[in-house]
Structure 1
């Protein structure tokens, strides 16, 4: 069988590669890419899109002549057709997403919005309840700023930022903290609350409502595609045992 790969003076045949793909857990990724290629096989790009993606590929790989492109192809063992499929793949996937889920984006966004809204909040966490109570009243009575006390007393990495965290999506904090902040108004100081091993004092600083702008629309499309692809992989991909040589 012909050699298809050489690594550090060791050669590998096509027959060698299957056990290696299994060993390095690369078969699932390979199966996914094969399935995606089948799904987008009928998706076409315009001549302008083909030219643009080809020029971008040459630029990124510093290929300034057709001779250099040929050398690159020979080194990779690829044909021109394979190269064109490779460099337009992302664009064809995006077209596939738009065709199949473009009309579902708004509904998906509305469903996800409560998790996508972002917050900025301040946090102090300490181990002793009596210390937490003292710090809470000092902040409430304006004796000290939240940031000053956070830098001095908070026992997490937030001490480095004066207790300030964010903007982060509402599901990023500990679930109990997220639940508290979801019902707060900006500027509201929450009394000491036990969260796991810590006693925390939190204050909501700002609430940033998620908007369905272009980046968010792309994210929603990506999520819908990924959910569908995961199900398709479960239904369409099987891993069969390699035949045992006699």
Structure 2
């Protein structure tokens, strides 16, 4: 009887030890997994898009060169006037006459609040701008800039600054062969190391989805990347991921969509 009892105890201990060995250490949670922005527009051929944007820039300047020259002239004239006035006794005499120095002393002596000081000085500066012709120059400059922005909107480029920024970004991508990238994934927690893998691409065209798969990958922080030039037709390509760590696997379906935009052939022309 005692022998049987000892045998049962030994067997139970052995079973418990084996069971403990099967327990996987750590954890993996992905129920809250997401990308803050889950869609990114890209182009199939970055060099062609860069060339298109440069043509737009040339056409836009051609259509607005006179206006842009006017803006540059007004900016230069305004800078020169302000530099001249900064060292002018006439300007600072007028500043004193309007009470500027007294207001400064009141502020530093805590006789007036910062808000009151700002209001009074702004009022004086406005009177000085009117007196010395700065206001008229600023109004002409703002009117010309507004006209330029309106023309840019009418010609479909938003603004010249946006266009220049796009050109610079494409040029950098091409020069350094930078891929298209998503942000890092959020809401994934687990025992390190975590291994991300792209396991599927969803698109209306199955064969194109398979081709897109050859251009896409994922980094260790969940950042999905696509090679700069993707040899696929325009459309939506939605990426599914797998996350693994020791003993655990999670599937994240339809997490991020890359929209390959169709090439735009039109260029701007002066009306």
Q: Same fold (TM over 0.5)?
A: no
TM-score tier, shorter chain, comes to under 0.3
TM-score normalised per structure 1 = 0.24
Name which one, 1 or 2, has greater alpha-carbon Rg. 2
